């Protein structure tokens, strides 16, 4: 088991803030890429922007289980 560094509250807050900013930028860049791809392929954005569309937990569980992931 690895030992966690002793971080101050400010350091923990900074770490979470950096992650939140990185995640926000990743989503923005993904949306830009999806929009550009949809335009290039001349298809609706819903045909391209599918990475975050697995909101049904049963469907996700089935896909992961059938893919060989043991849950």
Give 40's pLDDT tier (boundaries 50, 70, 90).
very high
| In the chain, alpha helices (H) | 9-41, 57-66
Share of the chain above pLDDT 90, in %: 6
Separation of alpha carbons 23 and 25, rounded Å: 5
- CA neighbor of 47 nearest in space, from 59, 57, 37: 37
Domain regions of the chain by residue span? 9-66
Confidence of residue 50 (pLDDT cuts 50, 70, 90): low
State the average pLDDT for the chain. Answer: 79
Q: Tell me what pLDDT residue 52 has.
A: 57
Q: What is the CA radius of gyration of the chain?
A: 18
Q: Read off the pTM.
A: 0.48
């Amino acid at each position: 088991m690895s030992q966690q560094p002793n971080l101050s509250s400010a350091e923990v807050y900074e770490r979470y803030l950096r992650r939140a900013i990185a995640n926000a930028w990743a989503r923005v860049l993904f949306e830009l890429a999806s929009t550009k791809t949809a335009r290039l392929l001349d298809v609706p954005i819903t045909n391209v922007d599918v990475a975050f569309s697995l909101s049904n937990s049963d469907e996700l569980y089935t896909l992961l289980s059938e893919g060989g992931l043991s849950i």
